[in-house]
Structure 1
Amino acid sequence: MKKYCYTLLSVSVLAACYSGQASANLRQQCLLGVPQFHGEPVQGDPNSLPVYIEADRAELNQPTSARYEGDVEVKQGNRYLTTQSLEVIQTGTEQNPVRNAYVKGGVTYKDDLINLTGSAARLDLDSKDGDLSNVDYQLVGRQGRGTAEETELRSRYRLMRNATFTSCLPGDDAWSVYAKEMRQDLEDEVAEMWHARFLVRGVPVFYTPYLQLPIGDRRRSGLLIPEVGSSSRDGYFYAQPIYWNIAPNYDATIIPKYMSHRGWQLNGEFRYLTLLGEGRFAGEYLGDDRYTDYVGENRSRHLFHWAHNAAFWNNWRLNVNYTKVSDKRYFSDFDSNYGSSTDGYATQFVKLSYFQPNYNISLSARQFQVFDESDIGPYRAMPQLDFNYYRNGIADGRLDFKLFSQAVRFDNDSNLMPTAWRFHLEPSLNLPLANQYGSVNIETKLYATHYNQRKGRSDRAEDIQRSVNRVLPQVKVDAQTVLVDQKSFIDGYSQTLEPRVQYLYRPYKDQSNIGSSLNSEYLGFGYDSTLLQQDYFSLFRDRRYSGLDRIASANQFTFGGTTRFFDENANERFNFSLGQILYVNHSRIDNSAENSTSGRSSSWAAEANWKINDQWNWRGSYQYDTRLDETSLANSTLEYNPSGNNLIQLNYRFASQAYIDQNLTRSANRYNQDIQQLGATVAWEIGNHWAMVGRYYHDIALNKPIEQYLGAQYNTCCWSVGVGYRRYVTSKANQEYKDDKDTFYDRSILFTVELRGLSNNHNSGISRMLGKGLLPYVKPFDL
Structure 2
Amino acid sequence: MKKNAYSLLSFSLLTLFYSSQGYADLTARCLAAVPHFSGEPVSGDVNNLPVYIEADSAELNQSKNALYQGNVELKQGNRHLISEQAEVVQSGGGANIQRYAYVRKGFDYKDNLINLKGDNAKINLNSKDADLENADYQFVGRQGRGSAESAEMRADYRLLKNAVFTSCLPDDKSWSIEAVEMRQHIKEEYAEMWHARFKVAGVPVFYTPYLQFPIGDRRRSGLLFPAAGSSSRDGYWYSQPVYWNIAPNYDMTLAPKYMSHRGWQLNGEFRYLTLLGEGKIAGEYLSRDRYKDYIGENKSRHLFYWTHYAKLLDNWRLSINYTKVSDKRYFTDFDSPYGSSTDGYADQTFKLSYYQPNYNLSISSKQFQVFDEVDIGPYYALPQIDYNYYRNGLAQGWLDFKLFAQAVHFDNESNLMPTAWRFHLEPSLNLPLSNRYGSMNIETKLYATHYQQKKGNGAGAEEVQRSVNRVLPQLKVDLQTVLASNQSFIQGYTQTLEPHIQYLYRPYKDQSNIGSRLNTEYLGFGYDSALLQQDYFSLFRDRRYSGLDRIASANQITLGGTSRFYDQNAEERFNLSLGQTVYLNNSRIDDKNATSGRSSSWSLENNWKISDSWNWRGSYQYDTRLNEVSLANASLEFNPEKSNLLQLNYRYASKDYINQNLTSGANSYNQNIKQVGITAAWELSDNWALVGRYYHDIALGKAVEQYAGIRYNTCCWSMGVGARRYLTSKSNRSYSNDKEVFYDNSFGITFELRGLGNDHHSGIVEMLEKGMLPYIRPFNL
User: What TM-score does the superposition give when structure 1 sets the normalisation length?
Assistant: 0.96
Aligned mates of 1:399, 1:241 — CA distance in 2: 60
Q: Per-residue CA shift, 1:713-748, capped at 9, x if unaligned? A: 011111111100000011111116697642111000
The residue number in structure 2 matching 1:257 is 257
Say if 1:374 and 1:667, in contact at 8 Å, map to a contact too. Answer: no
The residue number in structure 2 matching 1:472 is 472
The residue number in structure 1 matching 2:590 is 590
Q: Per-residue CA shift, 1:276-313, capped at 9, x if unaligned? A: 11110000011111111111122111100000111121
Q: Which amino acid aligns with 1:191?
A: A
Say if 2:100 and 2:122, in contact at 8 Å, map to a contact too. Answer: yes
The residue number in structure 1 matching 2:231 is 231
Q: Which amino acid aligns with 2:424?
A: H
The residue number in structure 2 matching 1:9 is none
In the superposition, relative to structure 1, how do residues 667 and 118 fare at CA in structure 2: closer, same or farther (>3 Å)?
farther
Q: Does 1:572 align with 2:572?
A: yes
The residue number in structure 1 matching 2:635 is 637
Q: Which amino acid aligns with 2:251?
A: D
In the superposition, relative to structure 1, how do residues 666 and 262 fare at CA in structure 2: closer, same or farther (>3 Å)?
farther
Q: Could you say what secondary structure the match of 2:530 adopts?
A: coil
Q: Could you say what secondary structure the match of 2:50 adopts?
A: coil
Aligned mates of 2:374, 2:561 — CA distance in 1: 42
Aligned mates of 1:569, 1:615 — CA distance in 2: 17
Aligned mates of 2:18, 2:575 — CA distance in 1: 37
Q: Per-residue CA shift, 1:464-495, capped at 9, x if unaligned? A: 00000000000000001000111111111110
**Range that drifts further, 290-299 or 605-614:** 290-299
Aligned mates of 2:287, 2:536 — CA distance in 1: 49
Say if 1:71 and 1:84, in contact at 8 Å, map to a contact too. Answer: yes
In the superposition, relative to structure 1, how do residues 225 and 453 fare at CA in structure 2: closer, same or farther (>3 Å)?
same
Q: What's the CA shift for 1:93?
A: 3.9
Q: What's the CA shift for 1:665?
A: 3.8
Aligned mates of 1:38, 1:20 — CA distance in 2: 29
Say if 2:14 and 2:224, in contact at 8 Å, map to a contact too. Answer: no
Q: Does 1:561 align with 2:572?
A: no
Q: Which amino acid aligns with 1:213?
A: F
Aligned mates of 1:327, 1:221 — CA distance in 2: 34
Say if 1:65 and 1:87, in contact at 8 Å, map to a contact too. Answer: yes
The residue number in structure 2 matching 1:27 is 27
In the superposition, relative to structure 1, how do residues 460 and 466 fare at CA in structure 2: closer, same or farther (>3 Å)?
same
Q: Per-residue CA shift, 1:61-96, capped at 9, x if unaligned? A: 111111111110000111100111111112234441
Task: Provide the alpha-carbon RMSD of the alignment.
Answer: 1.4
Say if 2:659 and 2:669, in contact at 8 Å, map to a contact too. Answer: no
Q: Could you say what secondary structure the match of 1:517 adopts?
A: coil
Q: Does 1:742 align with 2:740?
A: yes
Q: Which of 613, 616, 638 is residue 615 of structure 1 equivalent to?
A: 613
Q: Does 1:122 align with 2:122?
A: yes
- Aligned pair count reads 767
The residue number in structure 1 matching 2:458 is 458
Aligned mates of 1:714, 1:665 — CA distance in 2: 51
Q: Per-residue CA shift, 1:18-41, capped at 9, x if unaligned? A: 886321000111122211111111
The residue number in structure 2 matching 1:208 is 208
Aligned mates of 2:661, 2:166 — CA distance in 1: 61
Q: Does 1:664 align with 2:662?
A: yes
Say if 1:560 and 1:578, in contact at 8 Å, map to a contact too. Answer: yes
Q: What's the CA shift for 1:275?
A: 1.4
Aligned mates of 2:635, 2:105 — CA distance in 1: 69
Q: Which amino acid aligns with 1:250?
A: Y
Aligned mates of 2:333, 2:735 — CA distance in 1: 19
Q: Does 1:161 align with 2:175?
A: no
In the superposition, relative to structure 1, how do residues 17 and 750 fare at CA in structure 2: closer, same or farther (>3 Å)?
closer
In the superposition, relative to structure 1, how do residues 257 and 509 fare at CA in structure 2: closer, same or farther (>3 Å)?
same
In the superposition, relative to structure 1, how do residues 497 and 669 fare at CA in structure 2: closer, same or farther (>3 Å)?
farther
Aligned mates of 1:50, 1:579 — CA distance in 2: 79
Say if 1:524 and 1:531, in contact at 8 Å, map to a contact too. Answer: no
Q: What's the CA shift for 1:270?
A: 0.7
**Range that drifts further, 20-29 or 200-209:** 20-29
Say if 1:18 and 1:219, in contact at 8 Å, map to a contact too. Answer: no
User: What TM-score does the superposition give when structure 2 sets the normalisation length?
Assistant: 0.97
Aligned mates of 2:664, 2:30 — CA distance in 1: 58
Aligned mates of 2:565, 2:607 — CA distance in 1: 11
Q: Per-residue CA shift, 1:678-726, capped at 9, x if unaligned? A: 0000000011110000000000001100000000001111111110000
Aligned mates of 1:736, 1:102 — CA distance in 2: 80
The residue number in structure 1 matching 2:716 is 718
The residue number in structure 2 matching 1:415 is 415
Please give the residue correspondences for 1:6-405 in structure 2 after superposition, counting only pairs within 5 Å: 21-22=19-20, 23-405=23-405
Aligned mates of 1:554, 1:324 — CA distance in 2: 39
Q: Does 1:432 align with 2:457?
A: no
Q: Which amino acid aligns with 1:163?
A: A
Q: Which amino acid aligns with 2:751?
A: V
Q: Which amino acid aligns with 1:221?
A: S
Aligned mates of 2:772, 2:189 — CA distance in 1: 40
Q: Which of 647, 651, 654 is residue 653 of structure 1 equivalent to?
A: 651
Q: Which amino acid aligns with 1:100?
A: Y
Aligned mates of 2:307, 2:531 — CA distance in 1: 29
Say if 1:17 and 1:216, in contact at 8 Å, map to a contact too. Answer: no
Q: Which amino acid aligns with 1:466?
A: R
Q: Could you say what secondary structure the match of 1:254 adopts?
A: strand
Say if 1:30 and 1:169, in contact at 8 Å, map to a contact too. Answer: yes
In the superposition, relative to structure 1, how do residues 499 and 17 fare at CA in structure 2: closer, same or farther (>3 Å)?
closer
The residue number in structure 1 matching 2:8 is none
Say if 2:305 and 2:324, in contact at 8 Å, map to a contact too. Answer: yes
The residue number in structure 2 matching 1:775 is 773
Q: Does 1:447 align with 2:413?
A: no
Aligned mates of 1:348, 1:628 — CA distance in 2: 38
Q: Taking every aligned residue pair, what percent have the same amino acid on both sides?
A: 70
The residue number in structure 1 matching 2:485 is 485
**Range that drifts further, 670-679 or 395-404:** 670-679
